[in-house]
Amino acid sequence: MIDIHCHILPGVDDGAKSMEESVEMAREAVKEGIQAIIATPHRNRFYENPKEAVIQKAAELNRRLREEDVPLSILPGQEPAITGDFLEDFQRGNILALNNTQYVFIELPSGHVPRYTSHILYELQNSGAIPIIVHPERNQGILEQPEILYGLIRNGALAQLTASSLCGVFGKNIKRFSRQLIEANLVHFIASDAHNTKRRTFHMQRAFDELKTRYGSDVSYFFMENAERLVEGKNVYKDEPQKVKRKKLLGIF
């Protein structure tokens, strides 16, 4: 299993605070059945995390894990927040793609989807990148209007669901919405977005168990294989996106 979204690098953002905590997270990941992690520290107004520094930190953590005999590979990446300057940053080479592939994470604000989002995703694709919207199930604008995500996916973007969301860690509403996104073919990856081993840990095995139980092995393998294909820079699998079906409650939508 490969985890494409994790805050395991030490002392760079709100994830692991020290090398010791990074090693603790790595041991927990191995228990979950994870063989490789793309380290994706935040890049936003609070955390700069330049490309070269992330690559260096990932190499340092890999060395430490070999010394500790922890069978886990750390690959470099970033979780950059969307801004009006995103395209300029990308064109200047300041955005670190996932494992130096064509895949690039995009983090939206938690409360809404900026008006310029579709333009930036379109231009990124014109530049040869494939944008991946992280944890759309936790974006208030998408929760209220899932057709926004449908439009972005229909136009070529991909999306990554958080394992904890599917397990109900963020509440019943987000768990239900996560299932709706899966059923509408609006997400293509499941990743941990783990920050530590306590409050925000991996939950990957639990999420894949739920997937297998609810949807069958084929859906579980779909997400696992897409993570592998991403790391290798291959085209990922995707099905025709559908609009989320609103459920009636007492005759009211």
Q: Which two tokens stand for residue 168?
A: 């109900």
Torsion sign, CA atoms 114, 118, 123, 127: positive
- Quick one: pLDDT at residue 93? 94
The answer to whether the CB of 9 falls within 8 A of the CB of 22 is yes
CA distance 4 to 163: 11
Mean pLDDT by 10 residues, the chain (253 residues): 98 98 98 98 96 98 98 98 96 96 98 97 97 98 97 98 97 97 98 96 97 97 98 98 73 42
What does DSSP assign to residue 115? T
Contacts of 66 (CB under 8 A, 6+ apart): none
Q: Which two tokens stand for residue 39?
A: 């380290």
What does DSSP assign to residue 82? P
Q: What CATH superfamily is the domain 2-231? A: Metal-dependent hydrolases (3.20.20.140)
CA distance 209 to 190: 12
In this structure, are strands 2-6 and 130-134 parallel, antiparallel, or unpaired? unpaired
- Quick one: pLDDT at residue 247? 60
- Quick one: pLDDT at residue 248? 47
Q: Which two tokens stand for residue 231?
A: 């790391």
Of 148, 145, 152, 150, the C-alpha closest to 125 is: 152
Alpha helices in 32-80 (DSSP H): 51-67
| Residue 158: its H or E element | strand 158-162
Q: Where are the domains of the chain?
A: 2-231
Which residues lie across from 105 on neighbouring strands?
A: 132
Q: Which two tokens stand for residue 196?
A: 């530590």
- Quick one: pLDDT at residue 245? 83
